[in-house]
Amino acid sequence: MSEQQYEPNVVAFLCNWCSYAGADLAGTSRIQYPSNLNIIRVMCSGRVNPLFVMNALQQGADGVLISGCHPGDCHYMEGNFYARRRFTLMKELLDYVGVDSRRFNMSWVSASEGAKWKDVVEEVVENAKEAGPFEQFRRNKINW
């Protein structure tokens, strides 16, 4: 697959109250963005287990995004603060073992930021494109 037409596959975890709603808003406002990113809905970014990121990379994702409410706006008051700590460390860890740091992204998108959601998706997909395919860490039949 040549770099030009390489289509990365990004898995995103969005909190129900801000980012998922923001993505809904992008929809209702008919804002167009790349289709390479697929969303898993959780109630709070604080629910996202850092091991999900690794698991996603193992199971075939080329990039991962975690998105939650802006600090201080968490529907559950503190969830995104925990998420921020966990993923700051997870990002460092992945980068350290040589997982291209462009594969892992995190964002704060509020329910009113449909436009920002578009920008985030574009950036995240672009990042994953630049990072290229990621077979090394994949759980795949090569090992079977």
Partner 1 sequence: MERMKIGKEKFGDFLTALDKQLYAPQKVGETLRFVPVTPENKLDLEFSNTTVPPKSVLFPQVETLYQYELGKTDLNLPDGGEERVLVGVRPCDARAMAIVDNLFSWDIDDPYYLAKREKTTVIGLACSEPGMNCFCTSVGGGPASTEGLDLLLTDLGEVFLLQSLTEKGKRLCQEAEGTLEQATEEEVTSAEKLHQEAAGKIVRNIDTGGISEKLPELWDSSLWQDVSEACLGCGTCTFLCPTCHCFDIQDEAEGLEGRRCRVWDSCMFSEYTLHASGHNPRPTRRERTRNRVNHKYSYFVTKFERTACVGCGRCINLCPVNIDILNILAEVIKEAI
Partner 2 sequence: MVDLEKLRTVARETISRDDVKYLIGWRQGTYGFRVSPCFIKEPGEAEQLIFSPLCTNNLASYLIVMEKLPLPRGEQPDTRKVAVMVKGCDSRAVVQQLIEQGTKREELYIIGCPCEGVLDLKKVEAKFPHILDPVTVQWGKDKIIFQLPEGVEEVPREEVLAQKCLDCRDPNPVIADITLGEGVQAWGNGEYQDVQELEAKGAEERWSFWEDKFNSCIRCYSCRNVCPMCYCKDCVLDRLNPSWVYRSSNVSENTAFHLSRAFHLAGRCVECGECERVCPVDIPLMKLNKKLAKEVEEKYGYRPGLDPEAKPLQSSYRPDDKEDFIL
Partner 3 sequence: MNNKPKIGVYICHCGINIAKTVDVEAVTEFASHLPNVKVARNYSYMCSDPGQVLIREDIKNEGLNRVVVASCSPRMHELTFRKTLAEAGLNPYYLEMANIREHCSWVHEEVDRATSKAKKLVAAAAVKARLLEPLQEKEVDVEPATLIIGGGIAGIQAALDIANAGFKVYLVEKSPSVGGRMSQLDKTFPTLDCSACILTPKMVDVASHPNIELLTYSQVEDVSGFVGNFDVKVRKKARYVDMDKCTGCGVCAQECRLTGRIPSEFDAGMGKRAAIYLPFPQAVPAKYTIDPERCLFLTRGKCGKAPKCVDACGAGAINFEQQDEIIEFKVGAVIVATGFDVFDPSKKPEYGYNDYDNVITGLELERLVSASGPTGGNIVIGEGEEAFVPKEIAFIKCVGSRDKSTGNEYCSRVCCMYTAKLAHLMKEKIPEANIRVYYMDVRAFGKGYEEFYDRVRREGIRYIRGNPSEIFKRGDKLVIKAENTLTSTPLEDEVDLVVLGVGLEPRKDAREVIDLLRLSQSADRFYLEAHPKLAPVDTATDGVFLAGCAQGPKDIPDTVAQSKGAASSALVLLSSGKVKVHAQVSYINEETCRGCGYCVEICPYSAIELVTVNQFGHEALVARVNDALCKGCGACAAGCFSGSAQQKSFMDSQILPQIAALGVMR
Q: Is 141 in the site for partner 3 (CB under 8 A)?
A: no
What's the closest the beta carbon of residue 35 comes to partner 2, in angstroms? 19
> Given candidates 2, 3, 19, 42, which one binds partner 3 under the rule CB under 8 A?
42
The helix (H) or strand (E) run that includes residue 65 is strand 63-68
Angle of the 19-28 helix axis to the 114-131 helix axis, nearest 10: 100
What's the closest the beta carbon of residue 55 comes to partner 1, in angstroms? 13
- Residue 39, Ramachandran bin (φ over 0: left; ψ between -120 and 50: alpha; else beta): beta
Interface positions, 65-124, toward partner 3 (CB under 8 A): 75-79, 82-83, 86, 118
What's the closest the beta carbon of residue 130 comes to partner 2, in angstroms? 12
**Closest C-alpha to 66, from 90, 36, 100, 32:** 90
Q: Map tokens 């390479």 to a residue.
A: 36
d(CA 59, CA 68): 23
Binding site for partner 3 (CB under 8 A): 7, 9, 11, 16, 20-21, 23-24, 26-28, 30-33, 35, 38-44, 46-50, 52, 55-56, 58-61, 75-79, 82-83, 86, 118
